[in-house]
Amino acid sequence: MKLLLISALLSFTLAFTASCANKPDRDTTLGHQPLSLSEAFSSHFAIGSAINTQQANGLDAQSVAILNLHFNSLTPENDMKWERIQPQENVFTFEASDTLAAYAKKSQKDLIGHALVWHQQTPSWVFEDASGELVGRERLLARMKTHIFAIAGRYKNQIKGWDVVNEAFNEDGSLRESKWYQIIGKDYIEKAFEYAHQAAPKAKLYYNDYNLFKAAKMDGVIAMVKRLQAKGIRIDGIGEQAHYGIEPPIEELDISIQKVADTGLTMMITELDISVLKFPDEDNMGADISLSFALDKAYNPYKKGISASSQEKLANAYLSLFKLFLTHQQHIDRVTLWGVSDNDTWRNDWPMAGRSDYPLLFNRKYKAKSFVSDLIALAQQ
Ligand code: G3I
């Protein structure tokens, strides 16, 4: 009997130690907060992160620990873009996206697809024939359909929602003169949504763009939404990327979220990050990746670490934004950060390569910034 008791005690101790070992160590990332970000916001909206290849395949273990603990939704930063999925016509490479889908399934996180139709990161063959001439409308529509059916169809039972069309509008609300628009015409957006619906009927379908807090741009998008709705074409949500500076546009964003809500669609914040650095061209802030400036020391002041005053401004910016998101929680489905830590944010290289920026919630040592516990507290108020 005594032996039986000792052995039971021993197996309990071993099992307990093993289960603790599997749990991410909250103290290393969060001070004394008992809840993670996604747990704290669970009754409000999902908390997502962009995920890159090394995180999806587990090589970047420190980021994976943060993803496991704090985020319940994942968007591939690059691994589902056209150039990665179909670099040449009918040559599909699903290795990285399959690895990501497997990680999302295993860790029970929502998976968001990004992006089906975009003017960037789309190989030139898509728009050209064998002699390099632009193809006609029907051929481009056929290529669009093949691509959408291949990728959205492949993950139709797993992907919760797709960024179907990305960045189709100019700042004034007119349609961007992309090759999609030039060759197919204005209904290319409708076609993309129709094909996505056919390929993945259960997935939510989103339009995604930056600077949608700007009234003119959002009005262009809302007019497009109404056109689709009038034709009975399904569109479920609008994503504001939210690549902001240290003074986020709280009041304008407030109005723009309400505009989306008034159409009956849901709103998502899809790529949130807040740069603490001065932008070299204030009129063109946003996320146009074709913008590029030579590295200039004057624009890279925090090479060795962020100043206390900038860190405080960053904290205030995040807190004001999340306060706003909470006031609109009935309209907002998800808030996704565009990256895990300041180590691997695109902001370090845009619009000036080689800067040190600090736009995310986790620092270069993979620790939660001090204000993350304030965000968690805010969610519980
Ligand atoms: O992985 C290759 C590497 O093999 C190669 O040696 C290297 C040389 O340039 O490039 C690497 O790929 C880069 C990739 O990021 C991964 O780091 C691409 O050049 C680079 O263009 C790519 O940038 C991405 C950018 O979109 C363009 O696709 C950023 O990571 C990504 O954060 C950014 O995300 C976009 C959203 O999709 C849409 N909204 C704006 C947002 C920010 O630009």
Domains and CATH numbers, the chain: 28-380 (3.20.20.80)
Instruction: Give the CA-trace dihedral at 83, 87, 93, 94, to 10 degrees.
Output: 30
Name residue, tokens 């160590």. Answer: 25
Q: How far apart (Å, rounded) are the C-alpha atoms in residues 373 and 354?
A: 30
CB of 380 closer than 6 A to ligand 1? no
Is the CB of 53 inside a 6 Å radius of any atom of ligand 1? Answer: no
Ligand 1 pocket: which of 53, 57, 77 to mutate (most atoms within 8 A of CB): 77
Residue 165's SS3 state is strand
Cβ(259)–Cβ(212) below 8 Å: no
| Cα of 70 from ligand 1 centre, angstroms | 24
Q: Is the CB of 78 under 6 A from ligand 1?
A: yes
What six digits make up the tokens of 299?
């624009």
> pLDDT tens digit string along 268-291?
999 999 999 998 888 778 888 889
Distance CA 225, CA 245 (A): 28
Lookup: tokens for 142? 């056929």
For residue 115, the ligand 1 atom closest to its alpha carbon is 37
Return the pLDDT at 283. 78
Segment among 176-190, 285-299, 310-324 with least mean pLDDT: 285-299
Ligand 1 pocket residue status of 287, Cβ below 6 Å: yes
Going through 194-340 in order, the beta strands assigned E by DSSP cover 204-209, 237-240, 243-244, 266-274, 332-337
Q: What digits encode the pLDDT tens for the residues 106-129?
A: 999 999 999 999 999 999 999 999
Paired tokens of 225: 């939404």
Mutating to test ligand 1, I would choose from 95, 289, 344 the residue with most ligand atoms within 8 A of its C-beta, which is 289
- Give every CB contact of residue 6 below 8 A, 6+ residues apart in sequence: none
User: What's the pLDDT tens digit per position in 134-149?
Assistant: 999 999 999 999 999 9
Ligand 1 pocket mutation, candidates 176, 346, 348, 350, criterion most atoms within 8 A of CB: 346
* Token pair in block for residue 3: 């032996």
User: Which helix (H) or strand (E) covers residue 50, if one does?
Assistant: strand 46-51
pLDDT at 2 over 80: no
Residue 201 CB neighbours (<10 A): 11
**Ligand 1 contact, 163 CB (< 6 A):** no
Give the model confidence (pLDDT) of 311-350 as tens digits.
Answer: 999 999 999 999 999 999 999 999 999 999 999 999 999 9
Q: Counting atoms of ligand 1 from 1, which one is nearest the CA of 339?
A: 32
pLDDT digits (tens, 9 = 90+) for 13-49: 433 333 333 344 454 455 556 799 999 999 999 999 9
Share of the chain above pLDDT 70, in %: 91
Cross-strand partners of 175 = 169
Q: What pLDDT shows up at residue 18?
A: 36
Task: Give the C-alpha separation, 85 to 336, whole Å.
Answer: 23
Q: For residues 312 and 167, what is the distance between their CA atoms, to the nearest angstrom?
A: 32
Q: Is the CB of 370 under 6 A from ligand 1?
A: no
- Residues 6 or more apart from 142 whose CB is under 8 A from it? none
* Assigned token pair, 132: 């390099």
Please name the residues in contact with 148: beta carbons below 8 A apart, sequence gap of 6 or more. 116, 117, 192, 195, 196, 199
Q: Kindly give the number of the ligand 1 atom that is closest to the alpha carbon of 338.
A: 32
User: How buried is 163 (Cβ within 10 angstroms: 0-12 exposed, 13-18 middle, 19+ buried)?
Assistant: buried
Residues with catalytic roles: 167, 271
Please, what is the average pLDDT of the chain?
92
Which helix H or strand E contains 366, and what residues bound it? Answer: none
Give the tokens for residue 202.
């259960």
Cα→Cα distances 315→213, 340, 369, Å: 21, 16, 9
Neighbouring C-beta atoms of residue 258, cutoff 10 Å: 12
Higher pLDDT, residue 20 or 170: 170
SS3 state of residue 85: helix
How far does residue 78's CA lie from ligand 1's centre (Å)? 6
More confident residue, 50 or 286: 50
Q: Are 187 and 137 in contact (CB under 8 A)?
A: no
Q: Is the CB of 190 under 6 A from ligand 1?
A: no
Calculate mean pLDDT across residues 255-261.
98
Cβ 360 under 6 angstroms from ligand 1:
no
